[in-house]
Amino acid sequence: MKAIVSCFALLLACGPCASAPFELAISPSRFELSGKPGSRIGQALELQNLASATTEVAMRTIDWSYSDSGDITYHDELLPGSCRPWVVLERRSVSLPARSRKSFRFQIEPPADAARGECRFMIAIEGMEPAQQTFIRSGGTSLTLPVTGRIAVAVYVTLGGAQPRLDILQISMGEDQGMRRALVTVTNTGDAHGRLDGSLDATDNRGKSFELVPEGTPILPGQTRTLALLPKAEDGQPAPAPAYPVKARGVLDWDRGSFKVDVELK
């Protein structure tokens, strides 16, 4: 999957910041890889400095956790079972001249006895203050000072044939972020993350036709998550606000299967 993530404002700030935010684009926005225990998996990020001045960024790995409600937490410390010790980064920091691009390489080296499952971590690209530049270059192992911004790129590596197993438990109406929306509840009984995809052809109470698409966030192994089914925006226009009840039918799918849906949402 190829995508660009831009950072024109403070992203996931780690404390008070005094300087201007960095302007950076990263591609891809995430990695979904597979490998074998005892093998070496090499990949590269493309970093693009959109600013008119040289930018220096720190590069490191972080752990993360993700709640059933979709709240993400970043962890500097190693979580139990973390696979970050398997990761080798090309360098600790990167200097990007104005309007330039650079490739940044990293490797994942799972040991030969690594169990079947999914290795998950993030590569954090963080803006640096001069004090932090000195700290990094002196061999500091953690960033305890404020940073001017962060872009975190998720890396998923399945090992030993690990895979998701998604099932839809129900489709219903409910409250989501203070709004009344169509919701789909999905469980993952597999040993790797999955994502729900596809679309439903919908018609509302006024006869207006549109598509409903599931929120594309991950469902981690062992999770049961309730995701919004959102009206799809067309041609740059705002998504329609449906007049319920809505009749919807179509197929919601994932990497290894699909679900036929024919439902009335009231």
Q: How confident is the model at residue 237 (pLDDT cuts 50, 70, 90)?
A: confident
pLDDT band for 195, please (50, 70, 90 cuts).
very high
Q: Which CATH number is correct for 5-159, 3.40.50.1100, 3.90.280.10, 2.60.40.10, 3.40.50.1370?
A: 2.60.40.10
Q: Which of 108-117, 133-142, 152-161 has the lowest mean pLDDT?
A: 133-142
Q: What percent of the chain has pLDDT over 90?
A: 72
Min mean pLDDT across 77-81, 232-236, 257-261 is at 232-236
Question: What is the pLDDT averaged over residues 167-190?
Answer: 93
Q: Where are the domains of the chain?
A: 5-159, 166-265
H, E, C per residue of the chain = CCCCEEECCCCCCCCCCCCCCCCEEEECCEEEEEECCCCCEEEEEEEEECCCCCEEEEEEEEEEEECCCCCEEEECCCCCCCCHHHEEECCCEEEECCCCEEEEEEEECCCCCCCCEEEEEEEEEEECCHHHHHHHHCCCCCCCCCCCCEEEEEEEEEECCCCCCEEEEEEEEEEECCEEEEEEEEEECCCCCECCEEEEEEECCCCCEEEEEECCCCECCCCEEEEEEEECCCCCCCCCCCCCCEEEEEEEEECCEEEEEEEEEC
Q: Topology of 166-265 in CATH?
A: Immunoglobulin-like (2.60.40)
